[in-house]
Amino acid sequence: MQLGFIGVGNIGTPMCRHLIEAGHTVLAYDVSADHLARIVNLGAQAADSPRAVAQACDIIFSSLPGPREIEQVALGEDGIIEAARPGLIYVDLSTNAPATAQEVCAALAEQGVIMLDAPVSGGVIGAERGTLAVMVGGDLKTFETCKPLLEHIGANVFHVGDIGSGCVAKLINNMLAFINTAAASEGMALGTKAGVDPHKLYDIVQASSGASWAMNQFPNKVFHGDFTPGFTIDLAYKDLRLALEMGDQLSVPLLMGSICINLMRQLRANGAGGDDMSSLARVVEDAIDWQIRAPQNM
């Protein structure tokens, strides 16, 4: 079976690598020549367009920034649709708007292509380790066909429901992760400014009822003042914006999410959109002129 992979950035690269290491031949495409060269070094072959990938492959994966790029890759000039044929499967691993996933799926379906939306969670570290959660929307039979491949990428592969439902689950998950990160930052700033050792406070919270996945970012990132991505604030902002749009469409108030998107807006306005999502802590730090650092481990 010939596989394709479009978009080999921070998280696409390790996901694609797992497919190569599982023994599959993978034809890759990326607008960035550097990113494409990196995956070729890891054993992929290079294509010069999404159409070329679609022409040669049975199943195409993609990991792209957001709705605009997914539409372009799937339906744009030199896109997958130009080589569409019955039997071709397209699995989008990006975090997309549910409505865009549905629109792209419908357009491809007219040409016989079946699309699944299959966003992932667990970060670049989870992708490196192959432990991601994968949440899939779309045709159940096609899901069963793709599941063994997705199990190379993730440790927990879920079928959520119809096309777009994977993205719904993912946007809810990310909204919670961002809100938890902002809340953990406030707690850590207050506790450390009150004189408690950062590592001790971290250990206590993670063993207590305030524990969260978001806290995991402190020892490796915030304590060291290391805000290199990982997962950028720009991408997190895109996800939270999509979640708030869903809230708007369904008349669901999202008070915590609204606060959190304003913290991200502040970072982006200060030129930190390309920094890691853990830099939400810096908004709290800057407000009180205090840094949550643990220099003994630096």
73 contributes a contact to ligand NAD by CB under 6 A: yes
Q: Is residue 9 a contact residue for ligand NAD (CB under 6 A)?
A: yes
User: Would you say 120 and 133 are in contact if contact means Cβ atoms under 8 Å apart?
Assistant: yes
Q: Torsion angle of alpha carbons 119, 236, 31, 68, nearest 10°?
A: 80
Nearest to 280 by CA among 267, 293, 297: 267
* Selected range binding ligand NAD among 26-34, 189-197, 242-250, 253-261, rule: CB under 6 A: 26-34
Q: How many CB atoms lie within 10 A of CB 295?
A: 10
Site string for ligand NAD, 171-210 (x = CB under 6 A): ----------------------------------------
Has 141 been annotated as catalytic? no
The verdict on 95 binding ligand NAD (CB under 6 A) reads yes
Q: How far is the CB of 287 from ligand NAD (least distance, A)?
A: 26
Interface with ligand NAD in residues 29-68 (CB under 6 A):
29-32, 35, 63-66
275 sits near ligand NAD (criterion: CB under 6 A): no
Strands 89-92 and 132-137, by their bridges, are unpaired
Q: Which is nearer to ligand NAD, 29 or 223 (CB)?
A: 29
Does 6 sit near ligand NAD (CB under 6 A)? yes
Applying CB under 6 A, does 231 fall inside the site for ligand NAD? yes
Which H or E element spans position 121?
A: strand 120-121
Does 227 engage in binding with ligand NAD (CB under 6 A)?
Answer: no
Does 116 help bind ligand NAD (rule: CB under 6 A)? Answer: no
Find how far residue 68's CA is from the centre of its chain: 15
Spatial separation of the C-alpha atoms in residues 8 and 186, rounded to whole Å: 34
Nearest CA-CA partner of 6 in 34, 26, 20: 26
d(CA 67, CA 199): 39
Q: Which of 126, 81, 88, 82 is nearest to 108 (CA)?
A: 81
Catalytic residue among 141, 147, 170, 238: 170
For the CB of residue 278, give the shortest distance to ligand NAD in the complex, in Å.
11
Which residues lie near ligand NAD (CB under 6 A)? 6-12, 29-32, 35, 63-66, 69, 72-73, 94-95, 120-121, 123-124, 230-231, 235, 239
- Residues serving a catalytic function are 170
